[in-house]
Structure 1
Amino acid sequence: MFLLTAIDLSLPLQDPILKFMLIMAIVLGAPLLLNRLKIPYLLGLIIAGAVIGPHGFNLVLRDSSIILSGTAGLLYIMFLSGLEMDMNDFRRNGWRSLVFGLYTFSVPMVFGFAAGHFILGYPVHSSVLLAGLFASQTLIAYPIVSRLGITRDKAVTIAVGGTIITDILALMVLTVVVGLSTGKADSGFWYRFGVSVVGCVAAILVLFPIIGRWFFKRCSDNVSQYVFVLVMVFLGAYLAQLAGLEPIIGAFLAGLAMNRLIPGTSPLMNRIEFVGNAIFIPFFLIGVGMLIDYRAFFKSWESIEVSIVMIVMVTAAKYIAACLTQKTFRLSRDQRTLLFGLSSAHVAATLAAVMVGYNVILGRTPEGEPIRLLNEAVLNGTILMILATCTISTFASQRGAHNIAIKGSQSTQEPGTGEHVLIPVARPEDIGELVGLSIALTKQKYRSLYALNVIDNQDDDPGLKKRAQTLLETAVSAAAAADIHMHGLLRYDVNIVNAIISAVRERNITDLVLGMHRAAPGASHPLPGKTGVASALGKTLSSVLAQCAVTTFIYRPAQPFPTIRRHLVVVPRKAELEAGFQAWLLRIRHLAHDTGAQLIFHAPARTIQHLRGQRRRKDIAQYVIHETGWENPSALLPELRSDDCLWVVMSRRDRISYQAGMARIPAHLDETLHGNSFVLVFPVQAGQTEQQSIFNMNLG
C-alpha cells in the first residue's frame, strides 16, 4: 500500500524515471510498429512526440530536459553530417554546394516574399523575414542517408554543403531584418558581425584539428576520446552562438574540423554513431513532435490560410531549387529526389527565426495589442509547416536514398572472391594498429578479416593457450569496436611460417598485415656491410615473404593511425610491370580516401605515368618524380613531417623491380624513423607460385 501511494501517476508525468522509460520505450517500439505500417522511422518519432506531448495526451511536458536532449540531438545531426563528409569530394565539388545553396536560398526567398507581401498582405520587413523562413532548412533526414551508407554520394555532399550556405544566408537575413526593424543596424553592426563570423570559422577550422590531433596522440582511452568529441561539438556550437550564428553551424564546422581525425571505419566513429542514433537524435525528433499543435487549424481562418500558403509555396520552391540543381549538374532523378528530400525539412533555423520575429514588437494598436514583426498566425502556420515538411522530407529522402543504395550495390559488384586479410598477432601493443590498418586498406562490402596466433605443439606450457586466446580476443574486440566482424584462428604447429602459409591457402587470403620485427632487448642491428632484409625483418617475416604469394604489408606504428596527415609512397622503377601493382595501389588509394589523408607518390618518371594512368576520376593524389637510386636510403627517402607515414614499395630478390639497395631499407627505417610510422609493401610478383610449390615439395 505504501508503494502505491508513493507513485505519482498524475499527468503530465513528473517522475524522471517514468519519463525516460516512456521515451526509450517509444524509441524501441517505433521501428517494430512503423515497419508494418510502411511509415519512415523518423516520421514515426515525430508523430509519437506529438501524441505524448502537451498538445496530445499531455503525458510529457517539453521541459528543460527534453529541450537539452533535443538540442544535443540536432547538434549531433549537424556534427555527423560534417564528420561523414568526403572532404576530398567536398573540396572538389564545393562550387556545386555553393550553386545549390544559392538556388535553395534565392528561389524560396522570391516565393516567400511573394507569398507574404502579395498573397497575405504583410509589410515589406515581415515579408522578407517570412521569405527567410522559407529559405532555411534542416537535415532532419540525414540519418536515413547514413543508415543506407550513401553519405558520400554527390547529391548528399551537395545537399549538406548547400544547407550550411542557405542557413547562414537565411540567418543573416533574420539578423539584418530585425536590426532594421528595431533601428540597431548602424555602420558598426556590419563590422562587428563580419569580424565575429570570420573569427569563429577560423577558430574552429584551424584550432580544433590541432587540439584534436594533440589529444588523440596522448590519450587512447575509449571513454575519454568520446567525451572529448562531445566537448568539441558543444564548444563549436557555443563559439558560433557567440559570433551571432546558429549553434548548428558551429557543430557542422566542428565535424569538418574533426573529419580527418575520425575515419569512418574507426571504433570512435562507431561509438559516435551508436550513441547518437540510440539517444540524442531520437530525443530531438520526439521534441520536434511535441511542438506540433493540431488545434492551430481550428483557432482561426487566418492560421489555416497562412499554413496552407506556407506549405505549398515552400515545397514548390525547394522542389524547383532541386530541379535547377539537377539540370545544372546533370544529376539523376533519384539524386534530385534525395536532394529535394534533404533540403525540404524546416525545423531548427526556421523555428529560431519565427520565434525571434514573433518576439519583436514594433508598436501597439489603439487597443493596446502588440504589433509583432511576425504575428501569431505565422507562428501557428510555421508549426504546421514543420510537420508537413518533415513528412515530405522523410518520404522523399527515403525513396531517393533507397533507390541510390540499390543501384550503387548493383554497379559496384566486383568479381573475385573478395578481400581476405590475415593478421598474425604476437604482441598485444601492436594489435589495435594492425587491425586499424587492415580495416582502412579494404572495402567493407568485400572484406573478411582473420586474426591468427600460432602455438608450438611441442611446448607443454598450459599458459600458452590462454595467452593466445587473449591475443585473439583483443584483435576481435578491436575490430568489433568498429562494428566489423573478425575471425580468430588458433593454430598448433611446430613452425610459425608453415601455420601462416596454411592459413593463407585455406582462407583464400589476399593480403597479409604483419607487425615489424623487434629485436630482443640489448640486441643491435647488424653492421652496415652485413645488413640485409632477412636480418632486419627477422627470420619469420623473411620466410613468410619468400614463401607466401600474397600482397604483404609490414607495419611499424609510431603514432595513432587517424592522426596521420600525409602518406608518402616511395615506388621503385619498373614497379608497374609487377603482377601485384594494381592490388597494392588500390589498397593505398582506398586507405587515403577512407582516412582523408593526403597521398603523395615518389617514383621515377615512367612509373609516375603508370600511376597517373591508373588513377580514378576522384583521385587527387600528388606525384613527385625522383630518379635517385636505392643504394643510399637517406637520399632516396623524402623529407618527412611529424605527422607523416612513409610507405616503401619493396621487391623480392631477383624480381623485375628489385633494387640492390632494398636490402638496407628495413634496417635503415627502423634505426632512423623513431617518430614516424612506416609500412613496407611487398606486392605479388610473377614466379612466386612456382617457388612456393617447389618449397612445399621439398618439405614432403
Structure 2
Amino acid sequence: MDNGFIDHLLTEFDLPLKNPILVFSTILFIILLSPILLRKIKIPGIIGLIVSGMVIGPHGFNVLEKTSAIELFSTIGLLYIMFIAGLELDMSDFKKNRDKSLIFGLLTFSIPIAVGLPICYYVLGYQLNTSILTASMFATHTLIAYPIISKFGISKNEAVAVVVGGTILTDTAVLIILAVIMGAEQGSLNTQFWIKLVSSLAIFMAIMFLIIPRVAKWFFSRLESEKTSHYIFVLSVVFFAAFLAEVAGVEPIIGAFMAGLALNKLIPHSSALMNRVEFVGNAIFIPFFLISVGMLVDLSVIFKGANTLIVAAVLTIVALFGKWLAALVAQLIFKYSSAQRQIIFGLSSAHAAATLAIILVGYKEGILDEYILNGTIILILITCLIASFTTENSAKKIVLLEHDENIDSIQQIDKNRDESVLVPLSNFDNLELIIDLISVFRQKKSNHPISLLSVVENNDAAEINLKKAKKKLSEAIKYAAASEIELDIATTIDNNVVGGITRMSREKSANLVLSGWPQKVSFLNKFLGEGHTQGIIDSLNKDVFACQINHALVLQKRIVVICLPLSEFEHGFNVWFSKVTQFAKELSIPVLFICNERTQENIQSFLKQNKQNLLAKFNNQVNWDAILPLQIEIKNTDLIFMISARKGAISHASDLDGIENRLDKYYPDNNKLLVYPQTEKNNNLYNEYNDMRGESLSKGLETIMKVRKGIFRIFRRN
C-alpha cells in the first residue's frame, strides 16, 4: 500500500507536469521566489521571471509545457499590460503631448524599418516581401518594462507618456502592414480589402470611445455599492475590446490599450477599483505572461549552425540600433535629458508580443524561414533583458532628477510628507463617498494617516452614541483598506462639538481639516456653538475644506474653481492649488478658473514656474460684487471649488457672508468644496483674539448649555 502511494506520488511529478493544481502552484512559487532571489544580485524581477520561464519551459528542463491554460493566462497578462498602460496614462499630459506621441510613433516606426529593410534585402539576401515583414518586426515593441515604471511612480513623466502614446501608433501601423502583406500573398489585396479594413476600424473606434464610456458611467453610477461588480465589469470591457480589435483586423493588444483609454477618466488613479486592477495584474496575470515569454526561448538554436547565429546577431543589432536611434532623434527634437532618452529606449526596445505575432504568422504562411524564426527567439530574450536593465537604471535617475530639480520642489515634497488631515464626521450616510473623496484628496507621500473623528455630545445618550460612532468608523477602515488608505479613527465626548474638534486637531497635529458642508443654523444655535463648520473656521487657523459630495467622483467632467481677487496671495494658496491639481490629474479632467485678469496672470506664472501640466482655462467675465450665480453654464457633472476667505484675510469680501447657502441654492446637485485657506500666523486678527477661540470658550459654553437645558426642562414640565 505504501509502495502504491509512493508510485502514485512519483507519477504526479513526471515531467512535464500534468496535474493542473501542481502546475499552477509551481508557477505561483516561481512568481513568489524568483524576484526575491534575483533582487539579492540586483537583477530586475522581470528578468527573473523570463529566465525562470526559460529554465522550466519545454526548451529547458521541460518542467512545464505551454498548455491552453498557460496560454490563456499569458494572453490575459499581455492584455493587462496594455490595459494598465492606457489606464495609467495621464490624459491631460497625453492631450498636451499627442503631437509628440505622433512624432515619436513615426520615428520609432520609420527609423527601424529604414535601417532594417536594406540589411534584410541586401545583406541577408531575402525577397522583398520577406524583407518588409522582417523589417516591420523591428518597428514593433512591447511595454514589457512598464511594470518597472509603475513601481518607481514615474508613469506621469512626459517621456513615458510619449512612448506609451507612440506604442499604439507603431504597433497598429505594423499590424496593418502584416494584414496588407498577407492580403498580397493571398492575392486579395483589392479595393474591397481596404474598404473592409477602414470601415471595421472606424466601427471599432466608435464603439470604444462613444458607447463604452457611456455604458461604464451608467454602470458605475447605478451600482455604486457593488464594488466587486465594478472589477468584473472592467475585465469584461478589456476582453470584449480585445475581441472587437481582432474582428476589426488588428491585434487584441490594441483593443486592450483602447479599453484603458476609454475607462481612464472613470477610474481615478487612487481609487479602490484601480488598486484592485493593478494588484491582480501585477500579482498573477503579468508574471504569467513574462514566464510564458521565457518558455518560448530555445537556446539550442545557437548550436544549429552558423547561419542561425549570424541571422540572430544581425536581427538583434539592427533592432536595438533602430530603437536607440529613434530615441536619440526624439531626445534632440523634444530637448529631453539623457535619462529621458534612456527611458524611451528602455520602454521601446523590448520585442515580444507584436513581434511574435508577426514572425509566427509569417512563418506559418511560408514568408519567413526557420533562421528568422530562431533568430527572433534570441532577439526577444536579449531585447527583454536590455530593456529591463535600461528602464530600471533610467527610472532611478529620473526619480533622483525629479527630487533634486530645485530646492523648492524638495521643500514641497517634505511639506507633503508632513500633511496631516483631520476629517470630523457627524453624518455617516455618505461614508463611502467621503472615503472615495479622501482617496483622491490625500497626499500620497504623507507620513501621517488620515484621522477620522466623531465628537459625541455629552448628554444622557453619550455612551450609546459613542459605541455607534466607533462601529461606523470601523466600517470605514474596512472600506478604505481597498484603496490602501491608512486611517486613524478617534471618538470623543465633549460638551461642545467645535471644542472637541479643535482639541483633537491639536492632539493629532492636523494642519488640514476636511469637514462637512456648513448647515443652516439659527442665530441662537450659532451663538451656542452648534454651527460646526463655521465654528471650526473661526476657531482654527488651518486650511479648512468643507465638502458636499452628492454623487460619485467618477462622474465629474470638469473642475470649476472660483478664485476671489487676491486669493493667490493668501498663505494657504499652495495647499488648495495643489489639491485642485491633484483632483484634475486623478480624475483626468480639465480645470476652469473663474478669476480676474491679475489672478489669472499669477496662476499661469505659478503653473509655468512649477512645470505643472494642467489643462486650464480661464474666465474673467464675473461680477465680483455678486459672485453667484455664475455667468457661465454649470452642469451637474462639474466639481465646484469655491475659494472663500476668513474675515480679516487679504481676499475677504463682504459678499462672502452666507456663500454656502447661495451655492446650495444655485447648484444643489453639484459636488462642492468650500475652501478657507490658512492666513498668516502673525495675522493681527488671530493674535488679538487668541484667547477667544473655541477651546477657550468651551467651559463658558458648557455653563450656558447647562442653563439652556435647565430652561428647556422647565418648559417641558409646564
* TM-score, with length taken from structure 2: 0.89
1:570 lines up with 2:567 in the alignment: no
Matches within 5 A, 1:332-351: 332-351=337-356
Matches within 5 A, 1:16-31: 16-31=20-35
Q: What is residue 293 of structure 2 aligned with on the other side?
A: 288
Shift of 1:533: 12
Matches within 5 A, 1:513-528: 513-516=514-517
Cα distance in 2 for partners of 1:406, 1:533 equals 54
Shift of 1:138: 0.3
1:560 lines up with 2:556 in the alignment: no
- Render the CA deviation track for 1:442-468: whole Å, top value 9, x for unaligned: 431236322112234555654434323
Q: What is residue 692 of structure 2 aligned with on the other side?
A: 694
Letter aligned with residue 424 of structure 2? P
Contact 1:88–1:620 (Cα < 8 Å) also in 2 = yes
1:621 lines up with 2:625 in the alignment: no
Shift of 1:38: 2.1
Letter aligned with residue 363 of structure 2? Y
- Larger CA deviation: 573-582 vs 182-191: 573-582
Matches within 5 A, 1:210-609: 210-220=214-224, 221-360=226-365, 372-411=366-405, 412-415=409-412, 417=415, 418-446=418-446, 448=448, 449-456=450-457, 459=460, 462-516=463-517, 539-609=531-601
Contact 2:514–2:544 (Cα < 8 Å) also in 1 = yes
Cα distance in 1 for partners of 2:525, 2:171 equals 58
Shift of 1:183: 1.3
- Larger CA deviation: 117-126 vs 466-475: 466-475
Letter aligned with residue 428 of structure 1? F
Letter aligned with residue 559 of structure 1? H
Q: What is residue 49 of structure 1 aligned with on the other side?
A: 53
Q: What is residue 199 of structure 1 aligned with on the other side?
A: 203
Distance 1:622 1:632, change over 3 A: closer
- Larger CA deviation: 258-267 vs 195-204: 195-204
- Structure 2, unaligned stretches of length 5 or more? 700-718
Shift of 1:511: 1.6
Which residue among 119, 138, 141 is the counterpart of 2:142? 138
Contact 2:596–2:620 (Cα < 8 Å) also in 1 = yes
Equivalent position SS for 2:63: coil
Cα distance in 1 for partners of 2:65, 2:13 equals 14
Letter aligned with residue 408 of structure 1? E
Say what the alpha-carbon RMSD is for the aligned residues.
2.4
Equivalent position SS for 1:636: coil
Equivalent position SS for 1:280: helix
Q: What is residue 15 of structure 2 aligned with on the other side?
A: 11
Cα distance in 1 for partners of 2:492, 2:463 equals 15
Contact 2:495–2:698 (Cα < 8 Å) also in 1 = no
Letter aligned with residue 79 of structure 1? F
Q: What is residue 71 of structure 2 aligned with on the other side?
A: 67
Letter aligned with residue 384 of structure 1? I
- Render the CA deviation track for 1:172-208: whole Å, top value 9, x for unaligned: 2211122222211112211221122222123212222
Distance 1:337 1:615, change over 3 A: closer
Equivalent position SS for 1:175: helix
Contact 1:421–1:438 (Cα < 8 Å) also in 2 = no
Equivalent position SS for 1:483: coil
Contact 2:590–2:614 (Cα < 8 Å) also in 1 = no
Contact 1:434–1:514 (Cα < 8 Å) also in 2 = no
- Larger CA deviation: 301-310 vs 575-584: 575-584
* Aligned residue-pair number: 678
Cα distance in 2 for partners of 1:290, 1:569 equals 54
Equivalent position SS for 1:74: helix
Contact 2:301–2:374 (Cα < 8 Å) also in 1 = yes
Cα distance in 1 for partners of 2:19, 2:152 equals 37
- Larger CA deviation: 282-291 vs 649-658: 649-658
- Render the CA deviation track for 1:547-604: whole Å, top value 9, x for unaligned: 1111111111111012211111223334344333343223212221222112111223
- Structure 1, unaligned stretches of length 5 or more? 361-371, 519-524
Q: What is residue 95 of structure 1 aligned with on the other side?
A: 99
Which residue among 102, 109, 116 is the counterpart of 1:112? 116
Cα distance in 1 for partners of 2:494, 2:428 equals 21
Cα distance in 2 for partners of 1:131, 1:68 equals 29
Contact 2:343–2:395 (Cα < 8 Å) also in 1 = yes
Contact 1:532–1:663 (Cα < 8 Å) also in 2 = no
Cα distance in 1 for partners of 2:208, 2:481 equals 32
Cα distance in 1 for partners of 2:657, 2:16 equals 76
Cα distance in 2 for partners of 1:85, 1:283 equals 23
Distance 1:622 1:269, change over 3 A: same
Letter aligned with residue 585 of structure 2? H
Distance 1:626 1:692, change over 3 A: farther
Equivalent position SS for 1:555: strand
* TM-score, with length taken from structure 1: 0.92
Cα distance in 2 for partners of 1:154, 1:614 equals 19
Contact 1:430–1:515 (Cα < 8 Å) also in 2 = no
Cα distance in 1 for partners of 2:293, 2:325 equals 26
Contact 2:622–2:631 (Cα < 8 Å) also in 1 = no
Distance 1:636 1:176, change over 3 A: closer
- Larger CA deviation: 260-269 vs 493-502: 493-502
Distance 1:532 1:595, change over 3 A: farther
Contact 1:533–1:542 (Cα < 8 Å) also in 2 = no
Letter aligned with residue 552 of structure 2? P
Percent same amino acid among aligned pairs? 36
Shift of 1:697: 5.1
Matches within 5 A, 1:100-179: 100-179=104-183
Distance 1:313 1:144, change over 3 A: same
Equivalent position SS for 1:489: strand
